[in-house]
Amino acid sequence: MLRKLRILLQVVTITLVTLLLLGIGFRVHLWAGWVAKIQFLPALLALNFGVIALIVVVALIFGRIYCSVVCPLGIMQDFFSWIGGKVKKNRFSYAKEIKWLRYGFLIVFVVLMFIGFAPVTTLFAPYSAYGRIVNSLFKPLYDMLNNWLAGLDAANDRYNFTEVQIWMRSVTTFVVAIATLIILGVLAAWKGRFYCNNICPVGTTLSLFSRFSLLRVRFDKDKCKSCGMCEKNCKAQAIDFKNGKVDYSRCVVCGDCLDRCKFDALHYTAKKAQPSTESKPVDKERRAFLAATAMAGTTAALAQAEMKMDGGLAVIEDKVAPKRQTPITPPGSISALHLQHHCTACQLCVSSCPNNVLRPSTDLQHFMQPTMSYERGYCRPECTRCGEVCPTGAIKALSREEKTLQHVGHAVWIKDNCVASSKGVHCGNCARHCPTGAITMVDYEGPNGTIQVPAVDENKCIGCGACEHLCPAREESNPFSGIYVEGNEMHHIG
């Protein structure tokens, strides 16, 4: 019964979390966003005391059931462990708690998190690790499906699906995601919840409370026939049947052992098992499981057109993101440091950004945490998506007015790239689109005489990137923008 309930809850959780991380649409976030916000590490970082207290209380009452039904990485590992169980049945045996490893790592993790060393915080956060796997590996497949549906919609005059750009936001993060999936998949297939019980900082933290849980798996010594099936199927390697003991700091309350025991000798109860005649009937109901599928698709490219007078489209070179001295962090992140200390790099904001601005950073200081760049779009004034979805509060949710007051960066004009100053072409596209009116066109001595070039009022510039995105400078020989945004380490307000 516990096992079946556990599996049902796992299916619900993993479906909601995955849908959320695929960036399907804002509607999904409205009714499934809470699943990200009840994850332990995000709640801790967001100082969401309600959720933190709830998780601790649940651990004190039920044990580490969180690790089975709330943590998506745990659910993923259970899946691989189940596969491992099909290959080799009854493969587990009791293993002693490796105290030095789990507590040692927890201390290292906490210290590094406090000093803001992002790579450790982001790599080992379990919900975020799952987030990266979904974002890097599954989202492109979902996006292909989306674009196929958008094509059907376009042909049938419906407006439910719109085409999205499919692009690899970061090769490094992609590699990390694949490596995580493979390593944990193999580890779980072989040794079950090894990661959860020896490395995962959330697991170790919860273990401090689950030791004292009210409800726990207990042996009824009278009924136990010492067949050992429970120990052999405990993916946490926490059952020592010979001594009738279960290590509650490592039991993830999955219910596999209860299911396996044919002698009704194991019970998940609050009291010690009494040698009485009463016994609970085993629930024999069966339930169905859901499965997800994926499809393949391709994208098209533009071809060259000769300079004939009627017709043809000019080739548009891809813009290259400039090397910014200071990276740009999203509005609501308050400062680069705030983001560094609070973000677990789950990629939820990256999947949700409708303008293709956010992507994971490759810089070690902010490893896999979101950074902004404007080759594919710019941070539109009416959009506040990233703050709305962020479960840790690394990006605070802002109203539209508040968001436009955040100066996340300042525009810098590059006279050698600007088509007006370097080629005498009459432009002004940056000034025309600046939402705060920070750019005015002023006279300049260009190669063919006086021409107008942009002058940026740094006080007014909010760093939204409209200028960088809409600047026409993008030749093959020099694919950099004539005006671009440098980040502000700390966002100025107003």
Q: Which residues bind other proteins (CB under 8 A)?
A: 154, 159, 162-163, 303, 305-316, 377, 380-383, 419, 425-429, 432-433, 470, 472
Backbone angles phi, psi at 181, to 5 degrees: -60, -45
Non-local (6+) Cβ contacts of 332 within 8 A are 384, 386, 387, 390, 395, 396, 397, 398, 403, 406
Helix (H, G, I), strand (E, B) or coil at 463: coil
Write the DSSP string, 400-445: HHHHHHEEEEEEEE-TTT-HHHHH-----HHHHH-TT--EEEEEEE
Question: What is the Rg, in whole angstroms, of the alpha carbon atoms belonging to the chain?
Answer: 27
Report yes or no: 457 and 483 within 8 Å, Cβ to Cβ. no
Beta strands in 320-369 (DSSP E): 358-360
Helix (H, G, I), strand (E, B) or coil at 483: strand
Distance separating alpha carbons of residues 307 and 320, to the nearest angstrom: 25
490 forms beta bridges with 335
Picking from 357, 442, 341, the residue whose alpha carbon sits closest to that of residue 392 is: 341
- Let me know the angle formed at the C-alpha of 354 by 44 and 303, rounded to the nearest 5 degrees: 140
How many other β-carbons are positioned within 10 Å of the β-carbon of residue 468? 25
Straight-line distance from the first to the last Cα atom of the chain, in angstroms, rounded to the nearest whole number: 57
Helix (H, G, I), strand (E, B) or coil at 269: strand
One-letter amino acid at 339 equals L
One-letter amino acid at 211 equals R
